[in-house]
Amino acid sequence: MTIAVGRAPSRGWFDVLDDWLKRDRFVFVGWSGILLFPCAFLALGGWLTGTTFVTSWYTHGLA
């Protein structure tokens, strides 16, 4: 058995963020979620923009 004497090491913002990201929840976020959420958001926006743009050709008789 080991007995530690002194203060526990202080936890920085990175440790707090890491624990929050890896916390067990229904939808796991994790570190990859930091990249996946913006990519999915931009992909959806790009799809909607492209679809709207092409649809406008038919709406305005440009096709």
Domain ranges, ordered by start, for the chain = 14-20+27-58
Q: What is the pLDDT of residue 1?
A: 63
In 2-48 the beta strands, taken as DSSP E runs, fall at none
Residue 3 has pLDDT above 80, yes or no: no
Q: What is the pLDDT of residue 56?
A: 92
pTM of the model: 0.43
Residue 18 has pLDDT above 80, yes or no: yes
Rounded CA separation 12/45 (Å): 36
The per-residue pLDDT for range 25-62, each reduced to its tens digit, is: 776 777 877 888 888 889 999 999 999 999 998 889 88
